[in-house]
A = this chain, B = another copy of it.
């Protein structure tokens, strides 16, 4: 019953700012809990809304000083940069179309960025942002949180160690139903507006999560894809269901299905990978378990913290086996890994090799995936390279 995974031993909290995430937002609250959970960060500033009054009200409710609550991200970036105790990192939790300008504003000032996915609304911006991030020298993290689940780390480690043999098949899916009807809400509205979400709807919102997860666990690169995107709900301008066939470099094949109209599903993200020697299966809604299925032997149920689960999972595990960890813990692990990177940067030390979080390259890759899928679908499912 030893406990790893917590980074309580440290040298002072990291001063964090937030852009977006004001009253009524969902993902902003998630980022704040994630930042708090391991005690690595202190939220000290924010531009929670483009309405200055709302921003101050949100900040006050979070216990921030009034002069650290801004009406625009530009003002925040400028002023915080000048403060002696200004933010060291910023969390960007706006709709997609704001990721680029906000990230740029902070990166240009050398402030670390933790950005929600997808990276941008188009590939051109994504590549520009990559250049900006690289030039800045600041740390850039993209919160593909599912890749931080301990049993996903276990899966990745087993694939990397060759325990599955040569990979043949990758089946990944992410099914929801919350957009099965023509709903309107703060969460829904921008996601179905191409101006704010980008060209992809479902494929950008959850398809990229599925894609990133498959890439993260397998290490395989998608060479080309054939996609069929559909908007089932009348009047919807973006896709709400996505069928994709995948061809990976090296010969593996696969399929990706993402849907926001699969009635009865909540967040049914599921990954299955099959190699010559073994297969694995994992489901986000029961994330503490991982099936490992060696060919010609009984299936094993590996558990987070349990026997047979290795170091890659253990180092991001907080509580013993049988006490479930969930979504927030995974999200917090991204923040914790980034905190380690920021501290290393503070101290001018090299990054420990085991630290792992999605970055700007994953972001560019995700946008390339979205664009390829949209393009393939417009070309009636023609195989399209990434």
Interface residues of A (CB under 8 A from B): 1-3, 6, 8-10, 12-13, 24, 26, 29-30, 32-33, 36-39, 61-63, 164, 168-169, 171, 173, 176-178, 180-181, 185, 187, 226, 228, 230, 232, 241, 243, 245, 247, 253-255, 257, 259, 261-268, 272, 274-281, 284-288, 291-303, 305-309, 318-329, 380-381, 383
Contacts and interface: CB of A to CB of B under 8 A. Distances in A.
A30 B264 contact: no
A107 B343 CA distance: 40
A274 B264 contact: yes
B319 A308 contact: no
A319 B287 CA distance: 15
Given A263-B275, A266-B305, 14 more contacts: A10-B63, A168-B241, A176-B322, A226-B245, A241-B253, A259-B274, A262-B272, A263-B295, A266-B303, A266-B321, A266-B323, A284-B324, A285-B322, A326-B329
Contacts of A264: 274, 278-281, 291, 293-295, 299
A297 B293 contact: no
29 contacts: A2-B24, A3-B26, A6-B33, A8-B29, A8-B32, A39-B63, A168-B261, A171-B257, A226-B226, A226-B228, A226-B245, A263-B274, A263-B278, A263-B279, A264-B291, A264-B295, A268-B322, A284-B322, A296-B307, A298-B301, A298-B303, A298-B308, A300-B301, A301-B301, A319-B326, A323-B326, A325-B326, A325-B328, A328-B328
A319 B230 CA distance: 28
A110 to B, nearest CB: 25
